[in-house]
Amino acid sequence: MIKLLLCDDHAVVRSGLRMLLDGRHGIEVVGEASEGAEAIRLALETKPDVVLMDISMPHGMDGLAATRELKHRLPETNILILTMHDDEEYLFRAIQNGASGYILKNAPHEELVSAIRSVAAGDAYLYPTATKRLMSEYLNRLKSGDEPRDAYDTLSEREKEILGWIAKGYSNKEIADRLVISVKTVETHKANLMEKLGLRSRPELIKFALKKGLLNFE
């Protein structure tokens, strides 16, 4: 049986999904969550194979943030985004945050079951038009001579500079003094670079900096 955790802020949606899936198609629903933090708590308790995750949820942690946190804490759990957002930006952000699949709420239930099985098996799943979008984006990059970039290359020069100082242990105030900018500006750059790199803590940042050879203290 595929252990499935449902996460959606609408009780009616969760109830409908449970009736549709639980005990059928080799799927067992092991829990329901109404928001991101609850999904993380239940996932840690139930260790599901797949989390069916909505994007738009209340209380400060949406589905994308919850996906990123879950993949960090339970890397073996696969996450399938189930959403009404047929939007390229959400699609790319979901993939960047660690989702294994992306499917729309108006998809036929047979397609949803197929998507759950695919991500449970460790495969990726995208609904057909999303696949076309990704292929189009990739082909456009090839035509323009653009290779897919390392996350570090997406940082601005200022963000790279601040990343180096943070990794060496300098405080926001010390960095601001050295660069002759405000502490608030440092904090903004730090938040942006952490988001781009998918990092959440200073230890992760230092580990990343070591891999990139950025910790030259001379």
pLDDT tens track for 60-106: 688 888 999 999 999 999 999 998 887 777 777 888 888 888 999 98
Give residue limits of the domains in the chain.
Answer: 2-137, 151-211
CA 172 to CA 40: how far, in whole Å?
30
CA 91 to CA 70: how far, in whole Å?
18
Q: How confident is the model at residue 217 (pLDDT cuts 50, 70, 90)?
A: very low
Q: Do domains 2-137 and 151-211 have the same CATH topology?
A: no
For the domain made up of 151-211, give the CATH fold.
Arc Repressor Mutant, subunit A (1.10.10)
| Strand (E) or helix (H) holding 29 | strand 27-33
Residue 182's contacts (CB-CB under 8 Å, 6 or more residues apart) are 176
Q: Which CATH architecture has domain 2-137?
A: 3-Layer(aba) Sandwich (3.40)
pLDDT of 56 strictly over 50: yes
Structure tokens belonging to residue 183: 């502490």
Percent with pLDDT over 90 in the chain: 38
Q: How confident is the model at residue 137 (pLDDT cuts 50, 70, 90)?
A: low
**How much is the CA Rg of the chain, to the nearest whole Å?**
20
Structure tokens belonging to residue 96: 């960047």
Q: What does the chain come to in residues? A: 218
For residue 148, the model assigns a pLDDT of: 44
For residue 32, the model assigns a pLDDT of: 96
pLDDT of 3 strictly over 70: yes
CA 16 to CA 210: how far, in whole Å?
48
Model confidence, pTM: 0.62
B/e letters for 101-130, b = 16+ CB within 10 Å, e = fewer, are: bbbbeeeeeeebbebbbbbbeeeebbbeeb
Structure tokens belonging to residue 40: 């993380």
pLDDT of 31 strictly over 70: yes
Residue 76's contacts (CB-CB under 8 Å, 6 or more residues apart) are none
pLDDT of 28 strictly over 70: yes
For residue 85, the model assigns a pLDDT of: 82
pLDDT per position as a tens digit, 116-133? 999 999 888 887 666 555
Residue pair 137/149 in contact by the 8 Å Cβ criterion:
no
Q: Which of the 8 DSSP states describes residue 97?
A: T
For residue 133, the model assigns a pLDDT of: 58
Residue 123 CA from chain centroid, whole number = 16
3-class SS shares of the chain: helix, strand, coil, % to 5: 55, 15, 35
Of the listed ranges 149-153, 186-190, 193-197, the one predicted with least confidence = 149-153
pLDDT of 162 strictly over 80: yes
pLDDT per position as a tens digit, 78-89? 999 998 887 777
